[in-house]
Structure 1
Amino acid sequence: MKNSLLIFFLLFIIQNYPPLYGQVTGVRRPDLRVFHKEDYGAENKNWDIHQSDKGLLLVANTLGLLSFDGEEWQLFKTELPIRCVYAQNDTIYVGGDNTLGYFLEEDLKSGFHSLAKIKSDIWKIFPFNDRIVFQSFDRFYFLDQGSHIGYERINVGNTTYAYEQQNRIYYQITYGRLYYTNLGGELREVALKQPSEIAAHQMMFIQELNEEELLLGSLNQGMFLLKEGKMLPLPSRVNELLKKYRINHILPLPENRYAFGTMDGGLIIGDLKGNIDYHLNTQSGLPNNRIHSLYRKDHLLWIGTDNGLAMLDLSAPLSFIADPYLQLGSVYDIAAWDNTFLLATNQGLFQTEKHPQQFPNVVRLNKINGSEGQNWNIEIIEGKVFLGHNGGTFIFNQGQLEKISHVAGGYKLLKSRKHPHLYYQTAYFGLAVYEQNENGIRYLSTLREIATQTRDLIELPDGKLMVTTIDDNGYLLEMTGDGKSIQSLEVFPFFEGEKQIRAFSLKDRAIVTSSGKTMCYSDGEWTEAPKGLRGIQYLSEPLGDYYLVKKDNKLVLYHEAENKMIPLPQKIAALAKKMIYRYEHIGILSEHEFAVSLAEGIAIFDLTAFHQQATSTDRPKILEVAFYQDQNGNHLPEFDPMAIPYRYNSVNFKLSDFNFKHPSTYHYFLRGYHDHWQPPTTGNHISFQNLPHGHYTLHLKSDTAQQEVTYSFVIKPPLLLSAWALAGYCLLLLALIYGFFMGLKIHHKKQKLSLLKKERERLNKIRLINHEKLLEMEANQLKNEIEYKTEELSKLLLQNNKKKEIIDQIKEEIVQIRHQKRYVQPQDISKLNRIIDRNFDEKKDWAIFESAFTETHAYFFKKLKKTHPELSEEDLRLCAYLKVNLTSKEIAPIFNITPRSVELKRYRLKKKMGLEKDVHLKQYIQGF
């Protein structure tokens, strides 16, 4: 089973793919822009296409109405599939499965609006005599200028499609005869004689050529001319293809050309004589081979297929030769020779056929025997074709390769102008020299002074040679008199340490460039390169005054006479990224065509078509303007652009220049916010957030619509800066000024009062200081007096104690005398005792002491009794003695006890007072 599947797979490849060697089929196709369902966000099938007066592309899709402004696709869904679309003024009419209605272009978001409820499927919409006609298979609905709906039955059967021609609508009854109507009640059979065989066809196209002829397109049998009662097949290659692929849709083009959309074979563009411009199918870039719809506006042809959309620019300056089966390999060089193209690739040398067997966009490429492997360079010198190959150097003649040397890897070969019999060639090693004589061209030698792989080669007007190498060096060579050897060799100045050194010829000058520097060499002098050429990576051969330049990984057109770089459309500029890195090559195919060698195939740039492409005179359009609050994104629903409230001071502009060829680049600046043009942007939205209040004007242009468009708006000042607010501010300012002067006056008055107050305070302070000093003096004096009196009290007590001691001694002595019975009269002793007792009274002494003590310490006893009310008179006496700083020894005689008893007395007093152990009684008493 597995072997059977393998054999089947191999047979399929053999039958459907060309052989790997011998002949390769290439396709020359125009520049297509393709959109898949992932791009436009709807279903695969696109049934009809139209464009509004404002330029919006409209597509009837299975899911609803698609719109495209060149920047963004939008889908507006309908409940049922729509099959046709037609735009007039601001109204977009649509029809489909049981659907007849419209959208409003200015308010697409409002959705579909029904015109009538029908039970038919609408397949075509077209204008006719001030009416909009909706065609189903069994009737015509029509909408007049008064928005009234009418209809007319096809009462002799059904039809497929109807075709409006001047004042008639032609149609065929399915597999029957041809009729026409003017929707005025007149239904007639076509006056031309109709052969019976017409009923065997299903007509997919009817065109009135004149009163005697109709052009008919049959589904399965191709194109016919109905004339003199006969259906005459058009004998042409086009018709054979239409029979093979079946007609589905035909669109007349200018200059008697037609676009034929087929059921199975893609799109064919040509004329009725059989000349075919293009045959486009999936191999040449179409998304599908079944064509449902065709629409042309200006030079753009839109193609609706069963699986996506495509856009073909009929005037595009860019076309491609591609190899669908990738047998061609990477292209390193291309040259036009003997009405053919020669391609040097890494698979071999290929030559196109002079007379294509089918049509111009199919290119048969024959591989030259013996050229297999890496081919580097093709040089055509005086009618001879030289080929630089990995295996040597060859001359191509009459379809055969003749090897002239074993020099491998020939990158560049030139014939010397100073020595016309010599040729020089860069190669894998050194510089090869060839000589021409009557017997032909023979290899002489390899100059080994440059012992590495050489690359670029230029001969200067003075006969010197300029050579670069693959290892980033450059040399200026002066040859000997016979030109066969090197006399002197000079390394390029200014390029030490530089990478990717290349040398290119610019008429009588040489341009040397590297990764960081570009210099010009002419007449023995090095100068800085012209401004336009600085930083280039590659420079092509000239086409008149024009060169193609690779710069910043983009292709740019350089005009040498004007030293001006001309930007190219994005798709052409982007070819630089598809070239083979460090082996870039751009050849000349004709007087107006460059050929760009690519990693896969060739791009052909038509300079004449590029110049004929008129720069759009349209202006870019501002599709939407939205003012919003930056904090929460709330939009201003309705607005006067000259009076935008300040809280909506952020704005977003949605742009388009309806350029469908490639995404546009926009240039802008906002006057009032910017002072110069801003860097270009490829996005179609420009936003500004939190603009200050003021007047603004947006200036806008694009790379395809150079005319400038402007949009002015005014953001009103915030409420705090409004006119009323400013008037209030003025009144407030006047009030503030008045208040300021009044305040200043009050301030001066207060300042004067303050000075007076300060002076008064100063004087009061002086008085207070003097009073405090006086009080302090009095206090010191008082203190001194108290201390003196306390000391006096102490002395008094001590004196009293002393007297008491003396008296006690006298009394003791008297007692001793009495006991010893010495001679003394008893009555005298008694008398003496009475005198002592009368003059020494403890109570009287305490009263005298208490009076003196109270005079010195007026509040002592009062505070002490208040704090300790439980103290006795004796306790108060002890406290007074402690206050005047008497010791226990000095207190003991007063109480007539021993000092130890005084200590005991002090302990009991402390306990009665409730003092803590660590509190000293004497210090506590003296604190009162």
Structure 2
Amino acid sequence: MKSIGIPEIRNYKRTDYKGGTQNWNIDQDANNNLYFANNDGMFMFDGTVWSKYELPNKSVVRSLKTHSSGKIFVGGYNEFGYFKPNSNGKLVYFSLSKFLKNKNTISIDIIWKIHQLKNEIIFQSFNAAYIFKNNQLKIIKAPTRFQFSFLVKNTLYFQDINKGILKYRNGNLTAIPNSTLLNNTEIWGMFPIDNKIIISTLDKGLYIYQNNKIAPWDTDANWFIKKNSGLGGVAMKNNHLVLNSVVDGVIICDRNGKIIQHINRKKGLQNNTSLTSFIDKNENLWLGLDNGISFLNENSPFTFFGSSYNLSTVYATIVHKEILYVATNQGVFYHRWSIPFREEDFQLINGTEGQAWNLQLINGTLFCAHNRGAFILNGNLISRTLDSTGYWSFKGVPGKPDKIIASNYNGFSLLENRNGNWVLINQIKGFSKSVGEFELSNTNLWVKKDENLFQLKLDSNYSRFISIKTHKKLSEKDSGITSVQRIKNSVVFQYNNHFYTYSEKKNKFEPNMFLTKIFQKIPKTNTIVEDKAGNIWYVVKETLGVLKKTPNGTYTNTSNPFLNFTQYLVYNNLSINTLDSKNIFIGLTDGLVHYDSNQLNNINSKPKVFIQDFTTQETTIYTSSNTSVDKKITIPYASNFVKFRFSSPTFENVENIKYSYKLNGFDEEWSNWSSATIKEYTNLREGKYTMNVKVKNSFGIISDTASIPFTISPPWYRHFIAYLFYLILIGATIRVIRDRIKIKIRRNKYYETIEQRRLYLEKEARIRQEQFNLEKEIEKLNNDKLQLNLLAKDKELVTNSLQVVKKNKILNGIIQRLKDIDTSTFDETNKFQFEKLRKSILKEVNSDKSWKDLEKHIKNVHFEFLKRLKEKHPTISPRELDLSTYLLMNMSTKEISEIMNISGGGVELARYRLRKKLELEKKESLTGYLMRI
């Protein structure tokens, strides 16, 4: 049990659980669900959802007791019985008191206590005790009037207002000696400590019962109960007691009655009257208050000092001369280390109001770096002010115990011890940047500022920096610098978890493989601090972790325990102060954490996760109220919209509890971790599914998987019987279709025969037609060939005719020349011969009819062409018909001019007139047009 700081407190108001104000009793079932006896009924809390269960007469519930069978026995006004889960896990109430009412017994009144003693369940009211055993009720009436009853080490005690304390055994009550002295007060609690019993009364304080004697328990706890009125309590492990009070919350005391913790409204409770207290299975404390419910995380290794102790943002802590000093943004506060922390607040040291950055103990002197200067603290006073400039931190010069280098808002200064007093010597010249943390090695001062690392070299008098080097990277591989720190008494530099030291001889950074190796499995860090015990603390983004040093020199990594408060770390001024393994202080933005690393073993148990509700649109299929899934769950297809609600009865740091789920048969992967406790699936197909859920608590520990298998039936049209019907229907349809096909085949065969005959005849006719067309084509080709031959012959004939024309022209020319010859000079013989020659030539010319034959032949050959041309162009002249024929025969202009006995220009003019008469476009070929006719 921790005596330093306040545990995490979580208050549940009546608006959270939606019930009455007062809570009278608390218990926990096998699944770790909690139950509360409340003015409005019984409330169940599964870590996520509050559920309300009422008694039939709507009365207050004053007592309850969970049972290993899954029953929750409850007692109220004139009513007692038990809730039991039905087949779906829903809690259903069964009354036991009704059997008494049927017998016209006395009024039951309020059932204040319920106990389980071996195989008996005892319900205690003021008038009687009702023993439920083997499904039968037995009544033990109070000798006078019962007050309350208590089960201590398997022995049940009753307080009677006249007989004193009675011991119950085998159905009988026996008074214990000397117990009537408590008749004038109410006993609210009896607790075992060693071989004694501590008795807590309402207004007479605490008593000790031992060896049949009762005497006051003269302790601090007794004084507290007398002052604040006791309402019982509960025993914790290691003989610690939780004692409730009416006026001032609860206290936790040890076996000697020394108060270890005092938790009241000032320390975070929502109400100072605690009606009941309960220790859950994780050794955490629950309080049923006069107005609300509170949870105290007593099993945690962490406790807190916050605003209730006058602390705000913490930048540094130190213990010196039995005083704990805390530097905050509001000043330096202190608390005597030897005085219990339960009552006294931290006190402000006068003169330190404002921002305090650091506290450092150097050579037995406590220095304070403050926004308003550098101070020396002694006890609860400022014993000396060294400088009025704002300061960040101090470092002793290695090998110079009388000298200190201090960083301030203007750079660095030198402090020196002269005649037993520390004094400011000078401001070190050459560097005026304001820096927080720095490190010293030999005559080098190392400063990490922004992205640069400055290496400042001091002169021998520490009056100035004689050189300043700027480094931007540690090596070619590591092209940057993240932090500089002192580890294992060496200044080391870090980038991406790769560590280096600086070699003066080589004037370079050299890898530090030892530190690099121990950080190789840790994500990239941005802040690293080594504490006094050699543990290395680091920050990854917003997560705090520690490499704890073991006796053999190795390190073990721990980070999960710190997940609950790392979002409140002061990241730029990480404050870790390790006094020993049981006392570690961590600064937060809203106070101080006390960490006992020896208690880590208490938080390593696996959390549990349960699928609390499994519902469809129509109904609740399953509720996990102490039941296991031992039945087959089948859901109709119409209800294939399913919803699961899951929870973990883990009550520590509930903000950091995360769930992951996977529906086998639908999801391929587990979902991402989230705080969602409800998952819905819509339109699931028929088939077998298994819903799996697991939880991860705030310490990163993952639970076993909770599972629910279920089956979704197919819709009626996809049911087995439907498929059988489909097969029968398909078979019958196939039979009908087959018969119809056979008939159709026979009919089609007849028509097919006729059709084939018709197609044969059509094919035969088509072949004959094609043969005829082929013959026509051949004939046409032959005609075309003949025509081509005729054209060639025409061409040849024309050529020959032209030769004849040329010959005649020559002969005519000769005749003309002969006419010009004077024959008068010839003798008769020569004249006769000459005349004979001339007549012979003349006869040859006159007798040549080849040209007329040529014209006749051309007209005969091209008769059809000339006929078509005349029909198409009736106005065409005979001369133009001749020209068209010559052009059709592809005769040249020269040949045409010779035939038509005109010049070449006349031919062109005739062509132009022909084109105009034929109405041809400019670009259209005259010869091509004629060939198309």
TM-score interval w.r.t. the shorter chain?
Answer: 0.5 to 0.7
How many Å apart are 1:474 and its aligned residue? 4.2
Matched, 1:568 2:560: yes
How many Å apart are 1:734 and its aligned residue? 14
How many Å apart are 1:66 and its aligned residue? 0.7
Q: 1:149 aligns with which of 105, 127, 137?
A: 137
Quick one: distance in 1 between partners of 2:48 and 2:682?
23
CA separation of 1:615 and 1:399: change in aligned 2, threshold 3 A: closer
How many Å apart are 1:302 and its aligned residue? 1.4
Deviates more, 1:228-237 or 1:447-456: 228-237
Matched, 1:665 2:642: no
Deviations, residues 789-837 of structure 1 (Å, cap 9, x unaligned): xxxxxxxxxxxxxxxxxxxxxxxxxxxxxxxxxxxxxxxxxxxxxxxxx
Q: 1:678 aligns with which of 671, 690, 699?
A: 671
TM-score, normalised via structure 1 length: 0.68
How many Å apart are 1:100 and its aligned residue? 1.0
CA separation of 1:398 and 1:300: change in aligned 2, threshold 3 A: closer
How many Å apart are 1:601 and its aligned residue? 2.4
Quick one: distance in 2 between partners of 1:752 and 1:464?
114
CA separation of 1:382 and 1:653: change in aligned 2, threshold 3 A: farther
Structure 1, unmatched stretches of 5+, are: 1-25, 771-928
Do the aligned partners of 1:48 and 1:304 also contact (CA within 8 Å) in 2? Answer: yes
How many Å apart are 1:278 and its aligned residue? 0.6
Q: State the SS of the aligned residue for 2:48.
A: coil
Deviations, residues 428-449 of structure 1 (Å, cap 9, x unaligned): 1212233456655443433354
How many Å apart are 1:290 and its aligned residue? 0.9
Partner of 1:896: none
The letter for the 2-side match of 1:490 is K
How many Å apart are 1:158 and its aligned residue? 1.6
Quick one: distance in 2 between partners of 1:678 and 1:187?
59
Quick one: distance in 2 between partners of 1:393 and 1:330?
20
Do the aligned partners of 2:407 and 2:435 also contact (CA within 8 Å) in 1? Answer: yes
Do the aligned partners of 1:625 and 1:651 also contact (CA within 8 Å) in 2? Answer: yes
Quick one: distance in 2 between partners of 1:493 and 1:758?
96
Deviations, residues 760-794 of structure 1 (Å, cap 9, x unaligned): 77888999999xxxxxxxxxxxxxxxxxxxxxxxx
Task: Write the mapping of 1:336-735 to structure 2, written as runs, cut at 5 A.
Answer: 336-356=319-339, 359-403=340-384, 405-406=386-387, 408-417=389-398, 422-436=403-417, 439-459=420-440, 464-469=444-449, 474-480=453-459, 485-493=464-472, 503-507=484-488, 508=490, 510=492, 520-523=499-502, 524-525=508-509, 530=519, 534=523, 536-542=525-531, 544=533, 546-558=535-547, 566-569=558-561, 572-580=562-570, 582-610=572-600, 612-617=601-606, 619-626=608-615, 628=616, 641=632, 649=640, 651-663=642-654, 664-691=657-684, 696-704=689-697, 706-709=702-705, 711=707, 713=709, 715=711, 718=714
Partner of 1:75: 52
Do the aligned partners of 1:376 and 1:409 also contact (CA within 8 Å) in 2? Answer: no
Do the aligned partners of 1:419 and 1:482 also contact (CA within 8 Å) in 2? Answer: no
Structure 2, unmatched stretches of 5+, are: 102-106, 503-507, 623-628, 772-933
Quick one: distance in 2 between partners of 1:257 and 1:577?
33
Partner of 1:258: 241
Task: Write the mapping of 1:98-117 to structure 2, written as runs, cut at 5 A.
Answer: 98-105=78-85, 109-117=90-98
Quick one: distance in 2 between partners of 1:385 and 1:518?
33
Deviates more, 1:158-167 or 1:595-604: 158-167
Deviations, residues 269-309 of structure 1 (Å, cap 9, x unaligned): 11352311111111111221111111123312211111111
Quick one: distance in 2 between partners of 1:597 and 1:618?
29
Deviations, residues 538-582 of structure 1 (Å, cap 9, x unaligned): 44443656444443434344558888864435xx42423334464
Q: What is the RMSD of the two structures over their aligned residues, measured on CA atoms?
A: 4.5
How many Å apart are 1:47 and its aligned residue? 0.6
Deviations, residues 470-504 of structure 1 (Å, cap 9, x unaligned): x6754233445666543433334259xx9997644
Quick one: distance in 1 between partners of 2:731 and 2:369?
90
Deviates more, 1:597-606 or 1:99-108: 99-108
Do the aligned partners of 1:179 and 1:187 also contact (CA within 8 Å) in 2? Answer: no
Do the aligned partners of 1:434 and 1:442 also contact (CA within 8 Å) in 2? Answer: yes
Quick one: distance in 2 between partners of 1:687 and 1:562?
48
Task: Write the mapping of 1:783-798 to structure 2, written as runs, cut at 5 A.
Answer: none
Quick one: distance in 2 between partners of 1:311 and 1:553?
27
CA separation of 1:463 and 1:303: change in aligned 2, threshold 3 A: farther
CA separation of 1:60 and 1:377: change in aligned 2, threshold 3 A: same
CA separation of 1:609 and 1:363: change in aligned 2, threshold 3 A: farther
How many Å apart are 1:606 and its aligned residue? 1.8
Q: State the SS of the aligned residue for 2:261.
A: strand
Partner of 2:918: none
Quick one: distance in 2 between partners of 1:412 and 1:761?
115
How many Å apart are 1:311 and its aligned residue? 2.0
Deviations, residues 503-528 of structure 1 (Å, cap 9, x unaligned): 44454464557xxx776443444889
Q: State the SS of the aligned residue for 1:38.
A: helix
CA separation of 1:709 and 1:424: change in aligned 2, threshold 3 A: same
CA separation of 1:424 and 1:185: change in aligned 2, threshold 3 A: closer
Quick one: distance in 2 between partners of 1:489 and 1:335?
34
How many Å apart are 1:49 and its aligned residue? 0.3
Quick one: distance in 2 between partners of 1:536 and 1:754?
91
Matched, 1:46 2:23: yes
Partner of 1:320: 304
Quick one: distance in 2 between partners of 1:492 and 1:66?
65
CA separation of 1:28 and 1:499: change in aligned 2, threshold 3 A: farther
Quick one: distance in 2 between partners of 1:633 and 1:423?
77
CA separation of 1:765 and 1:267: change in aligned 2, threshold 3 A: farther
CA separation of 1:315 and 1:172: change in aligned 2, threshold 3 A: same
Do the aligned partners of 1:50 and 1:59 also contact (CA within 8 Å) in 2? Answer: yes
Task: Write the mapping of 1:9-28 to structure 2, written as runs, cut at 5 A.
Answer: 28=5
CA separation of 1:767 and 1:581: change in aligned 2, threshold 3 A: same
Counting aligned pairs with the same residue, the percent is 21
Do the aligned partners of 2:38 and 2:60 also contact (CA within 8 Å) in 1? Answer: yes
Q: State the SS of the aligned residue for 2:189.
A: strand
Q: State the SS of the aligned residue for 2:111.
A: coil
How many Å apart are 1:378 and its aligned residue? 0.3
Q: State the SS of the aligned residue for 1:459.
A: strand
Q: State the SS of the aligned residue for 1:408.
A: coil
Quick one: distance in 1 between partners of 2:533 and 2:664?
42
Aligned residues: 721
Q: State the SS of the aligned residue for 1:182.
A: strand
Do the aligned partners of 1:45 and 1:307 also contact (CA within 8 Å) in 2? Answer: yes
Q: 2:125 aligns with which of 132, 136, 147?
A: 136
Partner of 2:290: 306
Quick one: distance in 1 between partners of 2:672 and 2:254?
46
Q: State the SS of the aligned residue for 2:565.
A: helix
Do the aligned partners of 2:618 and 2:639 also contact (CA within 8 Å) in 1? Answer: no
CA separation of 1:763 and 1:706: change in aligned 2, threshold 3 A: same
CA separation of 1:642 and 1:272: change in aligned 2, threshold 3 A: closer
Deviates more, 1:298-307 or 1:540-549: 540-549
CA separation of 1:255 and 1:433: change in aligned 2, threshold 3 A: same
The letter for the 2-side match of 1:101 is G
